[in-house]
Amino acid sequence: MDVSMTQSYVDAVTSRDLRICAQLITRVEAADPEVRPVLHALYALGGHSRVIGITGPPGAGKSTLVNQLITHYRQQNLRVAILAVDPSSPYSGGAVLGDRLRMGVHDVDPGVFIRSMATRGVLGGLSRAVGDALTILDAMRWDVVIVETVGVGQNETDIVRHTGCIVLLQTALGGDAVQSSKAGILEIGDIFVVNKSDVSGSDRMVGALNEMIARRAGHGDPQCWQPVVLKTEAISGQGVSELCTEIERRFSFLSQHPEVAMARRLDQLRRRALEIAKERISVALEEHSQELLKSGQLTADVRERRTDPYELSETMIRMLGAGRSH
């Protein structure tokens, strides 16, 4: 992509051309290397949106809560973008449509932008694609950007780490056990929410989360963020304004503790760069391995069992070092 083309994309994003932005997100999903200069220019323009991550087990009420947050922020005349990552329903198209319909009240509102991103539609790492989509949304200067993702694995933990405020949703359904603890998401939650507070056992869940928080490193240290546990009933909107106040407190904390905010940004940059580097190296290695096979020089080695997998991997790594491609 040449300089003037890059500039026209950048202009389209900063003037909030939704069609072009949607196109660009589709291209980052396809890991299109052509858009790299656009992303580079947009990254420099970002850093203004409040980026909130909402995660939790399937069906915890994330979308319902996000819908309430949209209403809340729109009442304050704030512009909101939503990135719904990998909706958990098995019928991806249906789920995306369902999400849109559920959030439909806001669909015609130009102050709201909703975009879904599903693993199957993304080439390479999902977390990388979400990071790139956030670069685009951030440059569009939405006041608030919300990323919704099902908190089930490492991938989702990586995704919410792109945000400045991680809201972890739990419910008392399924017993007392705090869910999704495997991926280490409990250690990184900034705000804990027990949704479906109308369900019995919610207070016990609040207690379990409070105990868990008390065991976290930095507990009680005024220089560290101290998360709290809230209860919401997303279907009725109960507890939503308290959640918004808490989100507000989180962003105030970050602006009052620039060293914490900077450490988080550095870590985010490092993680995103690492993902991109890994993805590129993996593609290059795959190509090198295919090249080696095609070259035919291995056949004799294989016949004599002269080359073992370790030796072959050394050859591939040497090819990588020699910068044979990319």
Ligand X SMILES: Nc1nc2c(ncn2[C@@H]2O[C@H](COP(=O)(O)OP(=O)(O)OP(=O)(O)O)[C@@H](O)[C@H]2O)c(=O)[nH]1
**Does 183 contact ligand X by CB under 6 A?**
no
- Please identify, using beta-carbon distances, which residue of 198 and 301 lies nearer to ligand X: 198
Q: What is the rounded distance in angstroms from the CA atom of residue 23 to the CA atom of residue 217?
A: 42
201 touching ligand X, by CB under 6 A: no
CA–CA separation, 290 and 283 (whole Å)? 11
Name which of 43 and 73 has its Cβ closer to ligand X. 73
Choices 106-114, 231-239, 265-273, 300-308 (CB under 6 A): range interacting with ligand X = 231-239
Interface ranges with Mg ion (CB under 5 A)? 62-63
Among 21, 24, 39, 60, binds ligand X (CB under 6 A): 60
Which range of residues in 155-163, 195-203, 270-278, 284-292 is near ligand X by CB under 6 A? 195-203
Give the Cα separation of 245 and 18 in Å (integer).
30
Using CB under 6 A, which of the segments 4-12, 16-24, 86-94, 302-310 binds ligand X?
86-94
Q: What's the CA gap between 97 and 273, in Å, rounded?
A: 32
One symbol per residue from 127 to 166: x for binding ligand X (CB under 6 A), - otherwise; what is it? -----------------------x----------------
Smallest distance from ligand X to CB 130, Å: 15
Residue 112 beta carbon to Mg ion: minimum distance, rounded to whole angstroms: 16
| Contact call for residue 179 and ligand X (CB under 6 A) | no
Member of 7, 26, 89, 268 binding ligand X (CB under 6 A): 89
- Give the span between the Cα atoms of 200 and 1, in whole angstroms: 57
- The minimum distance between CB 62 and Mg ion, in angstroms, equals 5
Measured distance CA(39)–CA(81) in Å, rounded: 18
- Which residue, 103 or 178, is less far from Mg ion as judged by CB? 103
Q: Nearest distance from residue 173's CB to ligand X, in Å?
A: 9
Strand partners, 145: 51, 81
The site that binds ligand X (CB under 6 A) totals a number of residues, namely 18
269's CB contacts (< 8 A; 6+ apart) are: none
64 scored as a contact of ligand X (CB under 6 A)? yes
Which residues would be at the binding site for ligand X (CB under 6 A)? 58-64, 87-89, 150, 195-196, 198-199, 233-235
